[in-house]
Amino acid sequence: MDLVNQRKTSFRQGRLQQATLDLLSGCDVQFRRETRLDIALVKNLPIALIFLPAADIPTFVGEGRVDLGITGRDQVAEHDVQLPPGEVSGVEEILDLGFGRCKLQVQAPVKGDLNESKQLIGRNVVTSFTGLTESFFAKLEGVSDGKKPKGTKVKYVGGSVEAACALGVADGIVDLVESGETMKAAGLKAIDTILESTAVLVKSRNTKNSLVDLITSRIRGVITAQKFVLCQYNIPRSQLPTATSITPGKRAPTITALEEDGWVAVSSMVEKKDIANVMDELIKVGGTDILVLNIANSRTG
């Protein structure tokens, strides 16, 4: 079977790969990846998965025959900023996946006098994101085309960017930061943020494959199921307006009359992060028999 003619889905490798695999599993995308192979055929859908480095995914989606991809918003921005003037990106973001949140930051040595990005103008900056970094410093320098800085020297390093200052290669760096612990250990501090990033689902603007909408709908359903729980409780009808203001649901709560006069049952989707406080508030307004159920999967509007 010719893989070139099949629909292809690619996603970000590395520390976020397990989260992506769990997402695909929740979408019932069944595949088996053989050792050392970067392509896996899906058993129950006419698609193939391609395992690519994060930085390559926007290129294959935007310029190749890959219809869907999962990568970082930072990688999409890096791809787009390097396009020729006037060229429209072939990559379209369609869904924030809610994991892998981080920031692309300018970092400088703690033991030094650098406290603003402007102080790095004319100095050496090391990064894996040369396009975004050059555009950022070009704007600081007032370069009209916003692409290449005239004075600041931006150097590419594929890994261990945080070590560049300590090893004498750079005066400052631009790199992705999650908790910041790695940067602190390397003796660095954040002095600016270029962009905030997260894992995103992207598609080719040129795709006409009907399976794109199917897979997108499934992924959206899995993300919703991971974000929400189902809260069920009984409440006196007189307290229903107050109770439903506490649990408005994703669209609206489901209300069912009980055989006991003056009581109703309410079922509503509540964000997991808020459920403990929601239960406390329901108790205060007369809620009883409060149950919280996990949602395995969903299709919601």
Name residues whose C-beta falls within 8 Å of residue 228's C-beta, 6 or more positions apart in sequence: 250, 269, 270, 271, 272, 295, 298
Per-chain mean pLDDT for the chain:
90
Q: What is the CATH number of domain 3-98+199-209?
A: 3.40.190.10
CA distance 230 to 156: 48
Q: Specify the amino acid at residue 191.
A: I
Write a three-state SS string for 209-255: CCHHHHHHHHHHHHHHHHHEEEEEEEEEHHHHHHHHHHCCCCCCCEE
Give me the pLDDT at residue 32, please: 87
Name which residue leads in pLDDT, 234 or 12: 234
Dihedral sign of CA atoms 186, 188, 194, 198 in order: positive
Write a three-state SS string for 136-150: HHHHHHCCCCCCCCC
Give me the pLDDT at residue 10, please: 56
Residue 255 in this model has a pLDDT that exceeds 90 = yes
First vs last Cα of the chain: how many Å apart? 37
Q: Which two tokens stand for residue 44?
A: 């129950």
**What are the beta bridge partners of residue 10?**
50, 69
Give me the pLDDT at residue 19, please: 86
102-197 and 3-98+199-209 share a CATH fold? yes
Give me the pLDDT at residue 146, please: 64
**Tens-digit pLDDT profile for residues 86-133:** 889 999 999 999 898 999 999 999 998 999 999 999 999 999 999 999
**Tens-digit pLDDT profile for residues 131-170:** 999 999 999 998 877 678 888 999 999 888 999 999 999 9
Whole-number percent of the chain with pLDDT over 90: 74
CB 201 within 8 A of CB 223: no
Instruction: For domain 102-197, give the CATH superfamily.
Output: Periplasmic binding protein-like II (3.40.190.10)
180 pLDDT band, cuts 50/70/90, is: confident
Dihedral sign of CA atoms 189, 191, 194, 197 in order: positive
Give me the pLDDT at residue 4, please: 34
Q: Which residue has the tokens 């970082």?
A: 72
Give me the pLDDT at residue 12, please: 46
Give me the pLDDT at residue 14, please: 53
Q: What is the pTM assigned to this prediction?
A: 0.84
Give me the pLDDT at residue 3, please: 31
Give me the pLDDT at residue 272, please: 96
Q: Domain ranges for the chain, please list them.
A: 3-98+199-209, 102-197, 228-294
Give the CATH fold of the 228-294 domain.
Alpha-Beta Plaits (3.30.70)
Residue 235 in this model has a pLDDT that exceeds 90 = yes
Residue 297 in this model has a pLDDT that exceeds 60 = yes
Q: How far is CA 52 from CA 83, 180, 289, in A?
A: 20, 26, 49
